[in-house]
Amino acid sequence: MQTDRLVQVQRAFFEKGSHLSVTARKENLQKLRDMLLENEKELCSAVQKDLHKPAMEVVSAEILMVIEEIDFHLKKVYGWTKSKKVRANLLSMPSKNEVKRVPYGVTLIIGAWNYPIGLLLTPLVGAISGGNCAVLKPSELAPATSALLRKLISKTFDPNYITVVEGGVNVNQELLDQPFDKIFFTGSTRVGKIVMEKAAQKLTPVTLELGGKSPAVVHKDADIKTAARRIAWGKFMNAGQTCIAPDFVLVHYEAKLELIDQLKKAVKKYYGKNPEKSDDYGRIINQQNFERITNLMTDTTVLHGGEFNAAERFIAPTIVGDVDWGHPIMKEEIFGPVLPIIGYGDQKTPGVQLRQMPTPLALYIFSEDDEFVERVIASVPHGGACVNDVVMHIANPNLPFGGAGSSGMGQYHGEYSFECFTRPQAVMRRNVWPDPSFRYPPYGKKLFLLRKLLLR
């Protein structure tokens, strides 16, 4: 189907309303859940083909994450759809007032290649529970997963309700020219600006889930061994191609050498002496990103790793030092398996320095000093934070997930996904009697009385 017909046919389906009842929404959520469970092996194979991602990471970080989101919505969606009664104020009495959450209508969800299942289908859960139709656009950089998702979605749902459109940049541009009622985009800040510019032409509301340089601050009182294990896991999972991966480490000088030593031990334990042969370690998505990442390693001191193989798009888990704030590696999101280490001495340095950088999607702090932790959290704008861990805040559906500033706008997960794909609508109900003449002309001294009444 041509892109200019997609919105028309989905809007016609939306207006019929067969998908809007809570029962229908739950049935469609269950269909999506069944689709994932029944095709788990096939989905793992597709992602492995695209990213060399181990099945454990596909299942835990993508399939089960979507299923947990579905289960949360299945339990809660009835309550979310109920109107919320609110009080009348003095001017609106007597009346009955309520706020409804209503669907936007026809939505566009553009996914990303690094988690090609989770970053496409998790927003879809919110679109379904919110009562919307959806056009899904998976990334062309993960072609095996994109093709499989198109096949599975077409078998599971009426295409007039939910459909997948494949293609490259030109297809994205065509889709963004269509009059969607809501756009949800996951990807780079650069492309996010393009999406927002396109949406602004039609005043289409957008949610942008972008990225940035998410710092890990390790204070001198931290449990260094645990910090190293968790940072290494979060950084090198999916070969560093995770939007909320620790991008760099800012560590107190008193803990720096120990942290580097423990990071080396963690990497060796996770991936062995030769990570290229590890079944648990991924590959860079394409040659362009491979060259970009290896170029960022120029003029750094490799403390661990550093090996790469262009033919396999392999870059070893790498730790680098001799990096200052002006180095190119500190000027852009690395989005790969290279971890710069920067030291600090003054407790105020993390907050002061990080405030000067673009707002990160995530902030990680390792410390047992509550005052230090709260100072950093309060002084550094960020999307979401973890204390003494990394990444795991994304796994709790009770927490909103999203960026701020250059790392995005809008939140989702759990109830925030439902709110992301619905809008609040006010309804006031009044009787025809009483109908006092106070508000009608001629006004005379009514303004004086109104002030006396409201400003007492």
Average confidence (pLDDT) over 176-189:
97
Please state, for a pLDDT cut of 90, what percent of the chain lies above it.
91
Would you give the DSSP letter of residue 143? H
Of 337, 429, 335, 323, the closest CA to residue 88 belongs to 429
Q: Which two tokens stand for residue 421?
A: 């794909």
Res. 454 pLDDT band, cuts 50 70 90: confident
Q: Which two tokens stand for residue 380?
A: 């550094």
Give the separation between CA 84 and CA 38, rounded to whole angstroms.
38
Give the separation between CA 3 and CA 7, rounded to whole angstroms.
8
Give the separation between CA 121 and CA 127, rounded to whole angstroms.
10
Give the separation between CA 285 and CA 419, rounded to whole angstroms.
33
Look at residue 7 in the predicted model and tell me its pLDDT. Answer: 93
Here the contacts of 398-403 (C-beta below 8 Å, separation 24 or greater) are 401/209, 402/207, 402/209, 403/208, 403/209, 403/210, 403/211, 403/212, 403/359, 403/361
Greater confidence, 436 or 274? 274
Q: Which two tokens stand for residue 172?
A: 């994205």
Give the separation between CA 259 and CA 77, rounded to whole angstroms.
45
In single-letter form, the type of residue at position 82 comes to K
Look at residue 240 in the predicted model and tell me its pLDDT. Answer: 98
| pLDDT tens-digit readout, 71-80 | 999 999 999 9
Is 80 exceeded by the pLDDT of residue 271?
yes
| 3-state DSSP assignment of residue 292 | helix
Is 80 exceeded by the pLDDT of residue 236?
yes
Average confidence (pLDDT) over 393-414:
96
Average confidence (pLDDT) over 407-428:
97
Average confidence (pLDDT) over 376-384:
96
**For 131, how many CA atoms within 13 A lie in the half-sphere containing its CB?**
23
**For 78, how many CA atoms within 13 A lie in the half-sphere containing its CB?**
6
Give the separation between CA 152 and CA 156, rounded to whole angstroms.
6
Look at residue 439 in the predicted model and tell me its pLDDT. Answer: 87
Average confidence (pLDDT) over 170-195:
96
Look at residue 1 in the predicted model and tell me its pLDDT. Answer: 59
Is 90 exceeded by the pLDDT of residue 185?
yes
Of 118, 140, 165, 116, the closest CA to residue 9 belongs to 165
| pLDDT tens-digit readout, 292-304 | 999 999 999 999 9
Burial 374-402 (b: 16+ CB within 10 A, else e): ebbeeebebbbbbbebbbebbeebeebbb
| pLDDT tens-digit readout, 386-397 | 999 999 999 999
Is 90 exceeded by the pLDDT of residue 42?
yes
Residue 286 CA to its chain's centroid (Å): 22
Is 70 exceeded by the pLDDT of residue 37?
yes
| pLDDT tens-digit readout, 194-218 | 999 999 999 999 999 999 999 999 9
Residue 104 phi/psi, 5-degree rounding, is -70, -45
* Residues designated as active site: 209, 243
Look at residue 349 in the predicted model and tell me its pLDDT. Answer: 85
Mean pLDDT score across all residues of the chain: 96
Res. 32 pLDDT band, cuts 50 70 90: very high
Strands (E) in 90-239, as ranges, are 96-103, 106-110, 133-137, 162-164, 182-186, 206-209, 215-218
Average confidence (pLDDT) over 15-39:
98
Greatest C-alpha distance within the chain: 88
| 3-state DSSP assignment of residue 126 | helix
Which H or E run contains 426? strand 422-429
Res. 169 pLDDT band, cuts 50 70 90: very high
| pLDDT tens-digit readout, 55-66 | 999 999 999 999
Look at residue 312 in the predicted model and tell me its pLDDT. Answer: 96
Look at residue 450 in the predicted model and tell me its pLDDT. Answer: 85
| Structural domains for the chain | 3-210+405-425 (3.40.605.10), 215-397 (3.40.309.10)
